[in-house]
Structure 1
């Protein structure tokens, strides 16, 4: 519920302000205020509901996606594939990082990154300013994600990599 309220605020407020300004310039102050409030609330609620539906769906099929492996951490994420931020779900197991896109994308895909191939995990800003980007570098590729709680993701991924290198395959954190 807490995440739904955050989504409502972080998505709905900027959208409402933008729409309100546009409508206000074209149709006057009161029309802009009404349009901004209505559209921001509607957009934020729609996005919150969508996020909750996806969360429940991916929680159900998580063990399928990870081939029955214990999930250390998971959450909604965007994976950058070219210029598109493909929405989906990110899973961390004791030996892999797995991203699975949801069905509402142009580029649907799944990517599996073995933890033993990761050489760097770091925080990066999205669009140069938003503090929610996660960069995963392997010898063969560089993958960028947008996640909630990126510092926790970095910590958990690094813990899993360390445990894997020590030969530990049990539960982490």
Structure 2
């Protein structure tokens, strides 16, 4: 059974925060109270960190479900106007902010629209002929990034689930576009 991505992220976040607070609380308490306080402080901090991580993951699941429903009109509009190849929730990095929204791959472009809970709300459309390359990449410690190199030398980064599938589908369309352009030239 595949574990939910936000629960995985929540557990990872919770474990890291639990470890941080365990060390902080444990060392501080251990210096004052002795080894038993150190051990109990570490265990309580780890348990609290994991619990808060799971709650964070559940909160993120609820947020994603709400955003998926809110993007339904846009998804219907995109499907009516374009041949949508792939889509999912995504974050787009712009000026060091990870802007949340929805990413669409159509046969002609990669299109991102942010949701309302961002500082830098925006839309971004990258035509397929403006994409030079695409590859999954690590963001922080996780393989959740999608790095798009454009023909003008600029880069766009997204956080998506299934980075390998996104990259494969985009690369497949890039090959089709190259073949189409080649056949038009000959």
Aligned to 2:184: none
Q: CA deviation at 1:23?
A: 4.7
Aligned to 1:157: 170
**Count of aligned residue pairs for this structure pair:** 165
Is this contact kept in 1: 2:78–2:84, CA < 8 A?
no
Q: Which has the larger radius of gyration?
A: 2
**Does residue 1:12 correspond to 2:10, yes or no?**
yes
Q: What is the SS of the residue equivalent to 1:104? A: coil
Question: Which segments of 5 or more consecutive residues in structure 2 lack a partner in the other structure?
Answer: 30-40, 182-186
**Does residue 1:62 correspond to 2:59, yes or no?**
no
Aligned to 2:114: 101
Q: What is the SS of the residue equivalent to 2:92? A: strand
Is this contact kept in 2: 1:95–1:161, CA < 8 A?
no
Question: Which segments of 5 or more consecutive residues in structure 1 lack a partner in the other structure?
Answer: 169-173
Distance 1:60 1:16, change over 3 A: same
Cα distance in 1 for residues equivalent to 2:90 and 2:81: 21
Which structure shows the bigger proportion of residues in helix conformation?
A: 2
Aligned to 1:46: 59
CA RMSD of aligned residues (A): 2.6
Task: Normalising by structure 1, report the TM-score.
Answer: 0.80
Q: CA deviation at 1:30?
A: 5.3
Residues 38-79 of structure 1: per-residue CA shift (max 9 Å, x gap): 312211110111112222332442143577212100012111
**Does residue 1:132 correspond to 2:144, yes or no?**
yes
Aligned to 1:83: 96
